[in-house]
């Protein structure tokens, strides 16, 4: 789950990280009032969950409230990489001397969190890493000790930060790490962290990405989710308690268990196909949940066959079979379906599907091969390319 810039910065502020005292506007008139209240030049910033706002014209400097209203009017409703701007952040303009990048994320190879910093702040850190990786300082953090002061000093020294700013930088770095850790984030970054004309550090922009699996511990953060900017299928899946990610292939996959789902996707590739989605219905899924999952899969026009791979442990095979039939009554389709049911009540499940014109398989390899062949035949019959 991604947070908007204004949401991220408000979370940062709760940990003592200095941020501009801006406000959100949803209309040009609100932007005018906020700018007049701030009483100095302001920056109007589009709030969308994608990068490249500045290049798209979504960030403007307004010298007075009238300009703030004018720019807000132009930015609100703007389309940036397929997303419509519905809110703008009106921040006091800062007099910037230096820009720094500071962020924390997970280094899976090292199995630890890593804090990164660069003197090349204000630009895309991925571009810095690609073109001038030597400009990025990285420090791995022991999860039992947290970020230590000496590590923050090493970072400050590594990016060439003047000693007079070290104390404030260390405080911000440690606060950012606490924010990252305590909110189950996978990313927390400030870009840019600036030195202002009055020689103070200020987080001008912020970004947080939260681990969905930890949101049950943070209901106040879960409420910040922007459902307007989610793909409809993914929003529907989340509401139904399904783990779903849309992909670009043609084999729709419905599986119970993340590991089994990954294996199923790999098997479709082994036989020359490509998965259209990752979809884990989880353990103990009932018929209504299965029906919702199938409706989501069939809503994808790229799907040319559906592969069900169900291992009946907690999940009963007969419940899955009922869910499939329930969904097909609501969403009739000619898309071929291959079913592999094994485990609890597998015979009952197969009996339920016996008259449903399903293709059955005894093994995953057989099921994947049949699903790929069925997709090719379906595409050929319709004059499409599989």
Neighbouring residues of 88: CB distance < 8 A, sequence distance ≥ 6 = 24, 25, 26, 31, 44, 45, 46, 47, 72, 75, 76
Gap between the Cα atoms of 385 and 9, Å rounded: 47
171 CB-side CA count, 13 A: 12
Question: Partners of 343 in the beta sheet?
Answer: 312
Backbone region of residue 338 per phi and psi (left: phi > 0; alpha: psi in -120 to 50; beta: other values): beta
Do residues 32 and 61 make contact, with C-beta atoms less than 8 angstroms apart? no
Q: Is the dihedral of CA 40, 46, 50, 54 positive or negative?
A: negative
Tokens of 335: 């898309």
The residues annotated as belonging to the active site are 101, 189
Centre a 10 Å sphere on the Cβ of residue 179 and count the other Cβ atoms it contains. Answer: 22
CA distances from 150 to 92, 147, 154, 161, 167 (A): 33, 8, 6, 14, 11
Gap between the Cα atoms of 184 and 155, Å rounded: 23
25 CB-side CA count, 13 A: 31
Do residues 31 and 38 make contact, with C-beta atoms less than 8 angstroms apart? no
Do residues 180 and 143 make contact, with C-beta atoms less than 8 angstroms apart? no
């Amino acid at each position: 789950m991604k947070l908007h810039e204004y949401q991220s910065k408000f979370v940062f502020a709760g940990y003592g990280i200095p941020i501009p005292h801006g406000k959100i506007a949803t209309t040009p008139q609100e932007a005018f009032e906020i700018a007049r209240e701030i009483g100095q030049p302001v920056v109007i910033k589009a709030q969308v969950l994608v990068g490249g706002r500045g290049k798209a014209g979504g960030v403007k400097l307004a010298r007075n409230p009238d300009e703030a209203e004018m720019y807000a009017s132009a930015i609100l409703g703007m389309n940036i990489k397929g997303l419509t701007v519905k809110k703008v952040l009106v921040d006091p303009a800062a007099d910037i001397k230096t820009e720094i990048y500071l962020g924390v994320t997970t280094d899976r190879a090292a199995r630890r969190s890593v804090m990164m910093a660069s003197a090349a702040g204000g630009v895309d850190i991925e571009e810095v890493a690609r073109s001038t990786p030597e400009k990025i300082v990285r420090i791995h953090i022991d999860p039992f000790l947290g970020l230590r002061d000496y590590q923050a000093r090493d970072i400050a020294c590594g990016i060439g930060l003047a000693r007079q700013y070290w104390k404030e930088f260390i405080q911000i770095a440690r606060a950012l790490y606490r924010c990252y850790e305590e909110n189950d984030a996978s990313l927390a970054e400030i870009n840019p962290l600036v030195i202002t004309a009055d020689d103070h550090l200020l987080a001008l922009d912020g970004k947080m990405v939260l681990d969905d699996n930890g949101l049950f511990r943070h209901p106040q953060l879960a409420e910040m989710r922007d459902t307007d900017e989610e793909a409809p299928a993914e929003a529907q899946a989340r509401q139904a308690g399904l783990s779903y990610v849309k992909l670009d292939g043609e084999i729709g996959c419905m599986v119970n268990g993340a590991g089994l789902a990954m294996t199923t996707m790999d098997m479709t590739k082994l036989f020359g196909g490509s998965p259209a989605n990752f979809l884990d219905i989880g353990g103990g899924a009932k018929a209504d949940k299965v029906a919702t999952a199938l409706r989501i899969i069939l809503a994808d026009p790229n799907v040319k066959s559906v592969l069900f791979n169900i291992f009946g442990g907690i999940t009963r095979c007969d419940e899955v079979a009922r869910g499939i039939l329930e969904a097909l009554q609501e969403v009739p389709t000619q898309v071929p379906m291959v079913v592999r049911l094994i485990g609890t009540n597998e015979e009952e499940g197969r009996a339920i599907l016996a008259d449903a014109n399903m293709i059955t398989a005894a093994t995953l390899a057989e099921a994947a091969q049949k699903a790929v062949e069925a997709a090719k035949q379906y595409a050929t019959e319709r004059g499409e390319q599989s």
